[in-house]
Amino acid sequence: MRRRLAITLAAAIAAVSAFSAKAEKADREKPTQVEANRMTSDEARRISIFEGNVVLTKGTLQLQAERIVVRQDADGFQTASASGNPVRFRQKSDPRGGAEGVWIEGQAGRIEIDEKNERIELHQNAQVTRDKDEVRGSYILYDQRSEFFSVSSAKDAPGSRVRAVIQPKPAEADAPAPAKPEANKPEARK
């Protein structure tokens, strides 16, 4: 029983690490906590299922779903599929360019995480907000390797469109200038 629980938790941790590749580096060092109404694990098939008000927390990452299925391939890579009404996540990113990290939040009917290919897919009424920027569509693909986003509307829903709100970024001229070292000042003569 302990071995099975260890394998189940290892699978959950690995799946979360795929999701948090561009998040706070400190999150990778944090323990993963999973709460659910039920958990099953099939070691022979390398699958673990968490069901019923699932809350997964690792550092700044919080993922809420009705069901999370974690699978492990022969090479040890995990895929995770989270479903709910909706699945929600929230995580803080690493600081960039001297600015503090920002919160990334999202939701969808289903979220697929592929650790091996470093891809995250949000299906069914997908939405991602980063700081104050937001994208919405039927489907969002995020390739963590290249930091590439793709957002699509529903093909079978007339009038369905992709929506994006992109806040203006300060121009370099508007950004605070880095501190300049003081020039060597001649010392006062005695």
Task: Give residue-wise pLDDT tens across range 14-26.
Answer: 344 444 445 556 6
Whole-angstrom distance, CA of residue 126 vs CA of residue 142: 12
Give the whole-angstrom CA distance, residue 34 versus residue 120: 20
Q: What is the pLDDT of residues 117-152, one digit of tens each?
A: 888 899 999 999 988 899 999 999 988 778 788 999
Domains and their CATH numbers in the chain: 2-165 (2.60.450.10)
From CA 116, how far away is CA 101, in angstroms rounded? 26
Kindly report, residue by residue over 41-60, the tens digit of the pLDDT. Answer: 999 999 999 999 999 888 88
The pLDDT of residue 7 is: 39
Q: What gap in Å lies between CA 6 and CA 3, rounded to an integer?
A: 5
